[in-house]
Structure 1
Amino acid sequence: MTKPVISAREIAADVTAGRTSAVGTARAALARIEAAKSLNAVVTIDPSRTLADAAAVDDRLRAGEAMPLAGVPIVVKDNIWTGGWRVTQGSRLFADFVAPQDAIAIERLRKAGAVVVGIGATSEFASKGVTTSPLFGPTRHPLDPALTPGGSSGGPAVAVAAGLVPLAIGTDAGGSSRRPPAHVGVAGFKPSYGAIPYGPGFAEPFFGLSVIAPIATDVADIALAFKTMAGADRRDPDSASIAQETSDVAGLRIAFSPRLGLDVVVDDAVANGLVSAVERLSAAGLHIMRNEPVWPAGVTEDAIMPLQHAGLAALYGEPFRKDPTVFDPDIAKQIERGLSWSGAEVAGALLASTAIAKTFAAFFGEIDLLLTPTVPCVAWPLTQFGPDMIGGKAVSPRAHAVFTPFVNHARLPAISIPCGTDRCGLPFGLQIIAARGQDLTLLEAAQEIEAILRT
């Protein structure tokens, strides 16, 4: 795994100062993508379009325009509209779809000088915890091609981890842009719901949950991308302005929960690595207590999954009835389940989602930040939907995803940063969660925590 020698910030500074050009930077990124085709991280390229966009950035610079992301090459997940590009959601139904316009977030990134160099792989409809699709097949882990990077933003995460680009844009409706970064050793940020406008784009199966999520090699690049994309826009009625204040990290009330208050298993390497990280943070002067949410009876990931199944069924039930084989077999199963759920069962899932949000709201009345694992395990074989064992116990295929979905249902900001590796050198992450709207405070704290853990 070869990470970029310079950050997005440094690329923008070099391009702005004329030490290099946006076109030269784009050519170099395209060459890296070509050399790493076996990873299957970037599933669509359009070199002529990329180089034309890069040339336009160079022209804008010569005209005196200031751009905070001048010439920065980015990869965009294959479910986010990127105008003029093929964007498929990893689905045969959209194999030839060309986005008619940019999503607002991509529009803002391009205005800031970013150059799209490719479209990053996703699972079909971003609805699976590994990155494989009927159109493009599996995306491979950059440290071991026999392993998966997880999903569904595996393509963008691998593009960053393998050094193809310094910055990628994913989506996150249940952990899709936190778990893959944790598995490959980079940072991934899920903003507060509405902090970055969502769409225009595909109809979304995740009701009020999915967000645009930047992935990068460090938190500072994530913060730069977030500030570029964030802010209300009338085209998205759910978008909202965010709090501009940040807080002194030393004064924050920080809690550590090794299992997020859930009855779940965690690999020893991850559990011990998190404890060690918290000890280092405490030794550096952060005030960290042991505390965790107490969830209402019956509130589990199983209780909220009908929302995903029903959303997929509402959007794709008709083509499923005509030909189920068009879909990824696991997505077909989810659609079939969605068609079987009663209205009362879907309403029950909405009630469970509301209970999660209220529980987190009460919890963040007493603390400012919550530290948890991002994932309970490291990456697993490419051919499996999930690991067979975690913490020495046989587990269900979704057991790898337990620490992220509740955050989406509470619409909170959360970031995963690298925290350590197991004895085979496979990474895992530390998840940092904050109250809704406290995105900038979270990013400020994450930068300090990242600096401590890197020393």
Structure 2
Amino acid sequence: MDELIDEDATGLAERLRAREFTQAELVEIFVRRIEVMNPALNFMTNTAFDRARSKAETIPLDAPFAGVPILMKDMIDIGGLPRTDGSRFMLKNVPERSVQYVEAVEAAGLNILGQTNVPEMASFIITNNDVFGATRNPWNPDYSVFSSSGGSAVAVSAGVVPMAHGTDGAGSNRLPPSATGIFGMKPSRRRMRSGEADGRHDVAKTNQMLSRTVRDSALAFSLTESFSGDPFPPVGYIAGPSDRRLKVGLIVDDGKLITTDPEISEAQRKVALLMQNLGHEVEETPWPVDANEMADAYAKFFGGKVGALKTAVEAASETPLMESGLLTRFLASNIEASAAVSAEDIAEGRAFLDRLEPVFAEVFRRYDVLLAPVAPVVAPPLFEHTPDELYTDELSRYVAARLKFTSPINFAGCPAMSVPLSWSADLGLPIGSHFIAAAGHDGLLYELAYELEEARPWRDIWAPFSLKYVPV
């Protein structure tokens, strides 16, 4: 068995500094883990083994992570490595330069070993695409892990790496962690170093790690956040819980768009009781966003983003979009449907999304944090829908329903986290708890995460299809 399986990235760095093993030896251990587990779970797109081997022993041991290998989501520019976004159209895309966030990851002493699977251009709720295939849940391979940081979540849950990178544009660093029993954090908007090639910040998407332990995520956060002070002063490294007691708003589902699974609602009520037992004040409160209006606004917003992609694909293939073969049927037909969205509709959708920031700001005048489900369902069956299907309004609502509690937070700019505190008796899958704080209050969430990790430890709870039980 892998004797290092129980170590998190912080612990591995400490052992590297103690010279219990070398960076090169650790790279080979992680390579072997990938070779053993990827054929069964399919969480990788590209490997960068030789790159990692060449960097081993060149990373200073006094760097915070001292050369610990990491996997990056295949949706961020890493100089010299392919970035496919899970799409046939992007297979030849090799960025020349790393974005600021990746530069900070490597400066922290993390050694990039490869990239993880995503749905094509993050366009669907199940991690599956026509190029690399479907990623399986290590708790039950017949189920998905949602999306879009699905490959990264599986790699961590299966014990391949203690920490992996994710991006979150509508829930991607919370949904897969919820379905795999790990910790996931979405920072405040503009909190982290830029993950975009032009150095700007996306209106919805942020970068941060998925991990088995809170301290790994907190340390990575402190090393990759922006130090500009615009719009928030740096948080720094949060090392443990706070004595501060919080006022918590427990979200009661309104049944709009989809009714939350009773098992999930009950799990959150039990977590609310845990919070009360820890001395926090909890009261029920309604979800402040109309899910039907959110679904409509998000569809219009998406319609305003894809015109350039349609043009690029048709120029590259010299054929109409649906005949190009460069995009999945789902994404191509979604783009075609979006062409019917008018400029007025797009503006209307964006106006609704822009109003979410003051809506949540008002909520956080009454509460320190909200406690809600991550998703209204535990996890989708792996092939409940596939990228070969044509886009329909019904399928659009299927996706929007599963983003009901996560996507509004991105447009509100708030930080949020998925904490693995419950498991489904029916499916045997994890159920995350979704904690949301006011914009800029990322540190408060980390303090709470440490407290919950201590109160209900999850680090030693392993998926059946993980390296805890599979010999390497």
TM-score by length of 2: 0.86
Match of 2:204 among 205, 209, 216: 209
CA contact (8 A) 1:416 1:432 kept: yes
* Deviations 1:32-78 (CA, angstroms, capped at 9, x unpaired): 00101221101211221111112212xx33xxxx2111122111000
Whether 2:212 is the aligned partner of 1:221: answer no
Residues in 2 aligned to 1:317 and 1:142: alpha-carbon distance in whole angstroms: 39
Q: Is 1:271 matched up with 2:265?
A: yes
Deviation at 1:279, TM superposition (A): 0.8
Q: CA 1:317 to 1:421, structure 2 compared with 1: closer, same or farther past 3 Å?
A: farther
How far does residue 293 in structure 1 lie from its aligned partner after superposition? Answer: 4.4
- Does structure 2 retain, via aligned residues, the 8 Å contact 1:82–1:101? yes
Tell me the secondary structure at the aligned position of residue 355 of structure 2. Answer: helix
**Aligned-pair CA distance for 1:288:** 1.7
The CA deviation at 1:100 is 1.2
Q: Deviations over 1:287-330 (max 9, x none)?
A: 22222343479732222221123212333344256332321122
Note if 1:409 corresponds to 2:408. Answer: no
For the 8 Å contact 1:261–1:294, the answer to whether it is kept is no
Of 153, 156, 160 in structure 2, the residue corresponding to residue 157 of structure 1 is 153
Identity %: 28
The residue that corresponds to 1:135 in the other structure is 131
1:434 maps to 2:437? yes
Amino acid at match of 1:52: S
CA offset at residue 11 of structure 1?
0.7
In the TM superposition, residue 212 of structure 1 has moved relative to its aligned partner by 0.7
Deviation at 1:359, TM superposition (A): 0.7
Q: Is the 8 A contact 1:21 1:71 kept in 2?
A: no
1:266 partner amino acid:
T
The one of 140, 145, 169 aligned to 1:173: 169
Q: Distance in 2 between matches of 1:244 and 1:77?
A: 24
Using the alignment, how far apart are the partners of 1:46 and 1:318 within structure 2? 28
Verify: 1:443 aligned to 2:446, yes or no: yes
Residue 260 of structure 1 and its aligned partner are, at CA, apart by 7.7
Quick one: distance in 2 between partners of 1:305 and 1:281?
36
Q: Structure 1 residues 308 and 239 mapped into 2: Cα distance closer, same or farther (>3 Å)?
A: farther
SS of the equivalent of 1:381 reads: coil
Partners of 1:293 and 1:129 lie apart in 2 by: 22
Helix, strand or coil for the counterpart of 2:193?
Answer: coil
8 Å CA contact 1:281–1:453 kept in 2: the answer is no
Partner of residue 250, structure 1: 244
Moved more, 438-447 or 244-253: 244-253
Aligned to 1:132, what secondary structure does the other structure show?
Answer: coil
Maintained 8 Å contact 1:293/1:359: no
Rounded to whole Å, the distance in 2 between the matches of 1:5 and 1:244 is 26
Q: Distance in 1 between matches of 2:334 and 2:227?
A: 33
CA distance in 2, matches of 1:195, 1:163: 28
Q: Distance in 1 between matches of 2:374 and 2:288?
A: 19
- Unaligned residue ranges in structure 2 (runs of 5+): 387-394, 459-472
For structure 1, which segment, 287-296 or 331-340, has the greater mean C-alpha deviation from structure 2 after superposition? Answer: 287-296
In the other structure, the counterpart of 1:191 is 187
- Residue of structure 2 equivalent to 1:374: 374
Q: CA deviation at 1:395?
A: 11
Within 2, Cα distance between the matches of 1:283 and 1:454?
A: 16
State how far apart, in whole Å, the 2-side matches of 1:24 and 1:79 are.
Answer: 28
3-state SS in 2 of match to 1:89: coil
Residues 303, 438 of structure 1: alpha-carbon distance in 2 compared, 3 angstrom cutoff? same
Structure 2 residue 92 is matched with structure 1 residue 90: no
Q: Where does residue 389 of structure 1 map in the other structure?
A: none
Structure 2 counterparts to residues 34-53 of structure 1, below 5 A: 34-38=35-39, 39-53=41-55
1:378-408 deviation digits (Å, cap 9, x = unpaired): 222211239xxxxxxx995222221100000
3-state SS of paired residue (1:118): strand
Q: How far apart in 1 are the matches of 2:45 and 2:134?
A: 11
1:284 and 1:260, CA in 2 relative to 1: closer, same or farther beyond 3 A? farther
Structure 2 distance, partners of 1:298, 1:400, is: 12
Structure 1 CA distance for aligned equivalents of residues 450 and 231 of structure 2: 25
CA distance 1:239–1:138, change in 2 (3 Å): farther
Shift of 1:244: 5.9
Alignment partners' CA distance in 2, 1:441 and 1:120: 29
Structure 1 residues 451 and 258: CA distance shift in structure 2, 3 A: farther
Range that drifts further, 241-250 or 209-218: 241-250
1:283/1:218 CA distance change after superposition, 3 Å: same
**What CA distance in whole angstroms lies between the structure 1 residues aligned with 2:254 and 2:133?**
33
**Distance in 2 between residues matched to 1:297 and 1:192, nearest whole Å:** 22
Taking the aligned partners of 1:143 and 1:415, their CA distance within structure 2 comes to 21
Query: Is the CA contact (8 Å cut-off) linking 2:232 and 2:440 kept in structure 1?
Result: no
RMSD of aligned Cα (Å): 2.7
- Superposed CA deviations along residues 191-223 of structure 1, whole A, max 9, x for unmatched, are 00111122343999x961111121001222111
Pair 1:21–1:377, CA change in 2 (3 A): same
Distance change (3 Å), C-alpha of 1:232 and 1:128: farther
Query: Tell me, what secondary structure is at the counterpart of 2:381?
Result: coil
Q: Is the 8 A contact 2:257 2:291 kept in 1?
A: no
Quick one: structure 1 residues 454 and 347, their matched pair in 2 at CA, closer, same or farther if it must change by over 3 Å? same
Is the contact between residue 84 and residue 101 of structure 1 (CA under 8 Å) also seen in structure 2?
yes
- Report what 2:420 is aligned to: 418
Please name the residue that 1:75 is paired with: 71
| Equivalent residue number for residue 391 of structure 1 | none
Q: Which residue of 2 aligns with 1:349?
A: 349
Question: 1:395–1:52: structure 2 CA closer, same or farther, 3 Å change rule?
Answer: closer
Which residue identity does 1:20 align to in structure 2?
A: F
Match of 1:230 among 225, 228, 231: 225
- Quick one: structure 1 residues 197 and 140, their matched pair in 2 at CA, closer, same or farther if it must change by over 3 Å? same
> What is the letter of the counterpart of residue 308 of structure 2?
A
Report the equivalent of 1:384.
Answer: 384
Q: Counterpart of 2:455?
A: 452
Partner of 1:55 in structure 2? 57
Tell me by how many angstroms 1:419 deviates: 2.1
**Partner SS, residue 397 of structure 1:** helix
Distance in 2, matches of 1:45 and 1:401, equals 30
**Shift in Å at residue 426 of structure 1?**
0.7
Aligned residues: 437
Question: Which secondary structure does the structure 2 equivalent of 1:56 belong to?
Answer: coil
**One-letter code of the match for 1:338?**
S
Q: Is the 8 A contact 2:253 2:287 kept in 1?
A: no
Structure 1 residue 310 and structure 2 residue 304: aligned? Answer: yes
* 2:389 matched residue in structure 1: none
**What TM-score comes out, normalization by structure 1 length?**
0.89
Q: Which moved more, 1:42-51 or 1:396-405?
A: 396-405
Instruction: Work out whether residues 184 and 210 of structure 2, in 8 Å CA contact, stay in contact via their aligned partners in 1.
Output: yes
